[in-house]
Amino acid sequence: MIDAIARDRVLVSTRIVAVAIVPFLVVAAVLLFAFPTRTGELFAWAIDPPLSAYMLGSAYVGGVWFFVRVAMARQWHRVKHGFPAVVVFAGALLVATLLHLDRFSANLSFVVWLILYATTPFVVAALAWAQRREDPGARDGGSTDAGDWRIPAPARWVLIVVGLAALGTGAALFVAPDFAVGVWAWELTPLTAQVTGAVLSLTGVVNLGMVRDDRWSSFRILFQAQLISLVAIAASVIAAWGDLRWDRPATPFFLALVAAALVGYAAFTVWCELATRQEGTATVRDLPTTG
């Protein structure tokens, strides 16, 4: 009976939506990284300085990896924790758009932007709801891969605290963008402050999934996506070094956080992968033999 309810499958509708989203993310990332000074004509609105464009583009690069893996995934539990993060991110961008409609360009890119963010949070939320029984969670009899590694509680809680900090910072940028304009590491407008806050929310929401799920297989793809985004952010900071405001205390703090996150997430991912291999080897060794 449990197998009939929780088969840990990715529904066809979920795959179709994932495939449909990827091209938009690719195009947006290319425009933001390749033409950061022409966003007013090529993108949905004029983003200045380029570092703000790069930050949004970094989120899209990680999103490309995530949705490609959703389209290819055989098990729902491997990608499910990314869906709430996408809902929060896309919902925040929808609200920011409606609050700052006067800042957007009257072009095709804005029409596409508006349609995407008016629909994506609701479509992704509906898919997550439709998939909810496919994997009820590690603590409620959800699917577990053979040889899957359980993330130790201390490591999980460190990441949960990191997620809460990222979510709190993102919420502060979103709720109080006028304050953020004067203190952030580079020049922001109220709109780009809220967009940056939405980007930071992604890490926060993903990491909160560890409160009830300790399976590394549930977070492997998501941490890969976050690492890709962090590499893009680090490269963006180097490329737009001149955009940083060194007269603001937030600048060295932001740079330290990016460096710590990049090293920490990479080390954690390698650690989990090595532990998973050891767990899988031990599982195979302990299997009964026949003959």
3-state DSSP assignment of residue 193: helix
DSSP state letter for 170? H
Nearest to 73 by CA among 20, 4, 146, 11: 11
Q: Where are the domains of the chain?
A: 12-286
**Rg, the chain, Cα only:** 20
For residue 40, give Cα distances in angstroms to 29, 113, 168, 240, 244.
15, 13, 30, 18, 21
Burial class for 113, CB neighbours closer than 10 Å (0-12, 13-18, 19+): buried
d(Cα 104, Cα 47) in Å, to the nearest integer?
A: 10
Output the pLDDT for position 281. 62
Q: For residues 134 and 12, is the Cβ–Cβ distance under 8 A?
A: no
Nearest to 116 by CA among 229, 36, 187, 21: 21
Question: Could you report the average pLDDT of every consecutive run of 10 residues in the chain (291 residues)?
Answer: 65 97 97 96 96 97 98 95 97 97 96 97 97 76 69 95 94 95 95 96 95 94 97 96 94 93 95 88 49 42
Output the pLDDT for position 139. 59
Q: How many CB atoms lie within 10 A of CB 224?
A: 16
Torsion angle (degrees, nearest 10) of CA 137, 5, 90, 95: -100
Q: How many CB atoms lie within 10 A of CB 110?
A: 16
